[in-house]
Chains A and B, each alone.
Chain A
């Protein structure tokens, strides 16, 4: 059986080398699929068709399986994120302290549903299952930064700042 040669990198974007590095570190083993997808997402911000194809071929995983994994896990996104991301924690403690109202306020202000990005690509509105900062509920993540005991006004202020940037 001829030795397996991984497919060429999709482009000369340097980030593909990081992705390739993760796969090489794991010996191009099939079980490195999720690890590799994590690397792609952290490098590019999301997973597009080219990326999934490239990873699947490199790891000799059927494309259907790779796509199945991407769509199974909440953490992976198939859409590019906006310039800024407002993530409202939807854990139980946050829910008890009124996180659903925060989501409703953000939906109203931005005119998008959760999981979507504004037309100008400026702000994405996401919800998270729980970020583990329950003692400071309700919690939002502003571009990944945890803010606790958030009020509608504080969140709107942040959204305004991002919207005019």
Chain B
């Protein structure tokens, strides 16, 4: 495969598409698919054929506003239809060329206006199972340009220049990480893609892997060229069967096209990728635990250093990046580091994909430039809290993050700002809570999660999370005391400082952040034995039989 051949494929796809007057794109991502978008697509195809119009019906990845699904977008007019089902197919097809169907049309301009699409640029525009669709939108151009026109150091320089930071949550500068692996000795190196999206309440990586799998593969291949690796692994959760299937198809097609394998683009560069299935362990998002899992062992972390960049998979230098990080690589190589660095804030460049869920009008996937204010995401893009309820907090960073209250929503989203607020960027889950959520109960939920996900290797995490859970359960059942609260705080500090890996070190975050901003809710639970949100049962607070009688 050469650049000329790539351009030829892109041209022929565009020529093929020009044969059609209309393109009807049907979102087939999990949320829409669970509402019958499969049948809808068939119905649209049947209706299109019967109408005699030149219509291309295409299945696509996630279009974003999942709460309006199933979604259909008609191009070239870019008319977006929401809540479409198979019965609407004929109406949509017969409206083509005329006025759109008014009952189905939705106005989500406010939702889209503030978004900038880099990672999701193809989502909703290509068929994820067709490599040629991806190629027609500049796919694999970055890889071939890098291979033929750039040195590995040149690629690393460009990534460094872009200011891209790891999208898995930690925010480590990607260029720096690549540089370390490139400098590490030895001829055998590995590139690993972390697709173990363990954060419950986040699905960005799933959508990227399902909606645009080639983008991840291309990013990995460029990374492999830059650091001198020849073998890659994508570690995907077994809970994402569609992602696994799409990636498998994508890898097969890329091999057939000569974009993976030996001597890619007539250069001496060899690279291939294998899929490894996770088996449901949150701790495997941690680099060293992920490596142990790929090696077929229990996913327990190891103390660092040595970092995986020096001694990783089977003791070889290993580059580990998150799905979204790899998805950013191709556009950066294509458009230059400066282009990317122009987006975002001072120390957090580019865009970030968030999975907006919880008590919010427009749930779904959004991609925003870094630095955007939290209230813009929640009130403008997300459409605010529905049902007449009031906003209470937004949770970012999953079980490692924290809850941000209403008075802090004026802060711009960046790695550092969120840490200052006591939360973290995390992989991009953003869960909105309203006045019906109890913050003590939420903290307990996350601690229970960390307790059951603790691998058990180090004591602070194994025993500490269990003790935290006991204390929080006391508050939720109305038996907690103020001494318990002090104990909880000191326990949090100990766990934070002495745990071996990120899971333990960040496990107290949900507790500390809710204590920081919602201390009065804890006090209500402890002193007045009542749950302001009415979530906790407080069953022990009013014993059915007075205790004295039992004694």
Q: Which residues of A contact B (CB under 8 A)?
A: 30-35, 37-38, 61, 65, 68-69, 72-76, 90-97, 128-137, 139, 145-148
How far is A95 from B355 in the complex, measured between Cα atoms in Å?
A: 15
B168 at the interface (CB under 8 A from A): no
- Asked whether A135 lies within 8 Å of B299 as measured between CB atoms, the reply is no
Q: Which residue of A lies closest to B279 (CB)?
A: A73
Given A75-B239, A130-B201, does the pair A148, B298 have CB atoms closer than 8 Å? no
How far is A1 from B358 in the complex, measured between Cα atoms in Å?
A: 61
- Asked whether A34 lies within 8 Å of B239 as measured between CB atoms, the reply is no
How far is A128 from B455 in the complex, measured between Cα atoms in Å?
A: 18
B415 at the interface (CB under 8 A from A): no
Given A65-B297, A135-B355, A136-B66, does the pair A148, B431 have CB atoms closer than 8 Å? no
Q: Which residue of B lies closest to A76 (CB)?
A: B279
A-B contact pairs, 25 of them (CB 8 A): A34-B293, A35-B276, A69-B298, A72-B299, A72-B455, A73-B280, A74-B279, A92-B357, A93-B363, A94-B201, A96-B358, A96-B431, A130-B199, A130-B239, A131-B30, A132-B202, A134-B203, A134-B357, A134-B431, A135-B67, A135-B357, A135-B363, A136-B66, A145-B34, A148-B35
Q: Which of B343-360 contact A (CB under 8 A)?
A: 355-359
- Interface flags for B201-235 (1: CB within 8 Å of A; 0: not) read 11100110000000000000000000000000000
How far is A127 from B363 in the complex, measured between Cα atoms in Å?
A: 22
How near does chain A come to B318, taking the closest CB pair, in angstroms?
Answer: 14
B459 at the interface (CB under 8 A from A): no
- Asked whether B296 lies within 8 Å of A34 as measured between CB atoms, the reply is yes
- Interface flags for B301-331 (1: CB within 8 Å of A; 0: not) read 0000000000000000000000000000000
Q: Which residues of B contact A (CB under 8 A)?
A: 30-31, 33-35, 66-67, 69, 197-203, 206-207, 238-240, 276-282, 293-299, 355-359, 363-365, 395, 398, 429, 431, 433, 437, 442, 445-446, 449, 455
Please tell me which one of the listed residues B197, B296, B298, B357 contacts residue A93 in the complex, with CB atoms under 8 A apart: B357
3 cross-chain pairs, A with B, having the tightest CB-CB distances, nearest first: A92-B201, A135-B66, A73-B279
- Asked whether B206 lies within 8 Å of A132 as measured between CB atoms, the reply is yes
How far is A123 from B232 in the complex, measured between Cα atoms in Å?
A: 40
Given A38-B238, A93-B201, A135-B364, does the pair A32, B296 have CB atoms closer than 8 Å? yes
- Asked whether A134 lies within 8 Å of B201 as measured between CB atoms, the reply is yes
Q: Report B-chain residues with C-beta under 8 Å of the C-beta of A68.
A: 298
- Asked whether A97 lies within 8 Å of B34 as measured between CB atoms, the reply is no
Q: Which residue of B lies closest to A131 (CB)?
A: B239
- Asked whether A130 lies within 8 Å of B200 as measured between CB atoms, the reply is yes
Q: Which residue of B lies closest to A32 (CB)?
A: B296
- Asked whether A148 lies within 8 Å of B34 as measured between CB atoms, the reply is yes
- Asked whether B276 lies within 8 Å of A128 as measured between CB atoms, the reply is no
Q: Which residue of A lies closest to B358 (CB)?
A: A96
Q: Which residue of B lies closest to A72 (CB)?
A: B298
Given A72-B281, A97-B358, A146-B33, does the pair A132, B203 have CB atoms closer than 8 Å? yes
Given A74-B280, A75-B238, does the pair A134, B296 have CB atoms closer than 8 Å? no
Q: Report B-chain residues with C-beta under 8 Å of the C-beta of A145.
A: 34
How far is A30 from B278 in the complex, measured between Cα atoms in Å?
A: 16
How far is A91 from B33 in the complex, measured between Cα atoms in Å?
A: 19
How far is A91 from B449 in the complex, measured between Cα atoms in Å?
A: 9
How far is A35 from B297 in the complex, measured between Cα atoms in Å?
A: 11
Given A130-B201, A146-B33, A148-B35, does the pair A96, B277 have CB atoms closer than 8 Å? no
Q: Report A-chain residues with C-beta under 8 Å of the C-beta of B294.
A: 31
- Asked whether A69 lies within 8 Å of B277 as measured between CB atoms, the reply is no
How near does chain B come to A44, taking the closest CB pair, in angstroms?
Answer: 15
- Asked whether B200 lies within 8 Å of A91 as measured between CB atoms, the reply is yes
Q: Report A-chain residues with C-beta under 8 Å of the C-beta of B357.
A: 92-93, 96, 134-135, 137
Given A92-B445, A97-B358, does the pair A33, B296 have CB atoms closer than 8 Å? yes
- Asked whether B429 lies within 8 Å of A92 as measured between CB atoms, the reply is yes
How near does chain B come to A110, taking the closest CB pair, in angstroms?
Answer: 21
- Asked whether B279 lies within 8 Å of A34 as measured between CB atoms, the reply is yes
- Asked whether A129 lies within 8 Å of B298 as measured between CB atoms, the reply is no
- Asked whether A134 lies within 8 Å of B281 as measured between CB atoms, the reply is no
Q: Which residue of A lies closest to B62 (CB)?
A: A135
Q: Report B-chain residues with C-beta under 8 Å of the C-beta of A132.
A: 30, 197, 202-203, 206-207, 239-240
How near does chain B come to A15, taking the closest CB pair, in angstroms?
Answer: 18
- Asked whether B202 lies within 8 Å of A31 as measured between CB atoms, the reply is no
- Asked whether A134 lies within 8 Å of B238 as measured between CB atoms, the reply is no
- Asked whether A69 lies within 8 Å of B431 as measured between CB atoms, the reply is no
Q: Which residue of A lies closest to B314 (CB)?
A: A31
Q: Report B-chain residues with C-beta under 8 Å of the C-beta of A35.
A: 276-277, 296
- Asked whether A31 lies within 8 Å of B295 as measured between CB atoms, the reply is yes
Q: Which residue of A lies closest to B355 (CB)?
A: A134
Q: Report A-chain residues with C-beta under 8 Å of the C-beta of B355.
A: 134-135
How far is A135 from B28 in the complex, measured between Cα atoms in Å?
A: 14
Q: Report B-chain residues with C-beta under 8 Å of the C-beta of A129.
A: 198, 200, 239, 280, 282, 449
How near does chain B come to A59, taking the closest CB pair, in angstroms?
Answer: 8
- Asked whether B363 lies within 8 Å of A74 as measured between CB atoms, the reply is no
Residue in B197, B203, B442, B446 whose Cβ sees the most chain A Cβ within 10 Å: B203
Q: Report B-chain residues with C-beta under 8 Å of the C-beta of A148.
A: 31, 34-35
Q: Report B-chain residues with C-beta under 8 Å of the C-beta of A69.
A: 296-298
How far is A145 from B241 in the complex, measured between Cα atoms in Å?
A: 12
- Asked whether A146 lies within 8 Å of B30 as measured between CB atoms, the reply is yes
How far is A86 from B297 in the complex, measured between Cα atoms in Å?
A: 29
Q: Report B-chain residues with C-beta under 8 Å of the C-beta of A61.
A: 296
Q: Report B-chain residues with C-beta under 8 Å of the C-beta of A130.
A: 197-203, 239
Q: Report B-chain residues with C-beta under 8 Å of the C-beta of A33.
A: 296-297
Q: Report A-chain residues with C-beta under 8 Å of the C-beta of B431.
A: 92-93, 96, 134
Q: Report B-chain residues with C-beta under 8 Å of the C-beta of A90.
A: 200
Q: Report A-chain residues with C-beta under 8 Å of the C-beta of B279.
A: 34, 37-38, 73-76
Q: Report A-chain residues with C-beta under 8 Å of the C-beta of B67.
A: 135-136
How far is A5 from B176 in the complex, measured between Cα atoms in Å?
A: 46
- Asked whether A146 lies within 8 Å of B34 as measured between CB atoms, the reply is yes
- Asked whether A93 lies within 8 Å of B358 as measured between CB atoms, the reply is yes
How far is A62 from B92 in the complex, measured between Cα atoms in Å?
A: 61
How far is A92 from B510 in the complex, measured between Cα atoms in Å?
A: 12
Q: Report B-chain residues with C-beta under 8 Å of the C-beta of A97.
A: 358-359
Q: Report A-chain residues with C-beta under 8 Å of the C-beta of B34.
A: 133, 136, 139, 145-148
- Asked whether A92 lies within 8 Å of B297 as measured between CB atoms, the reply is no
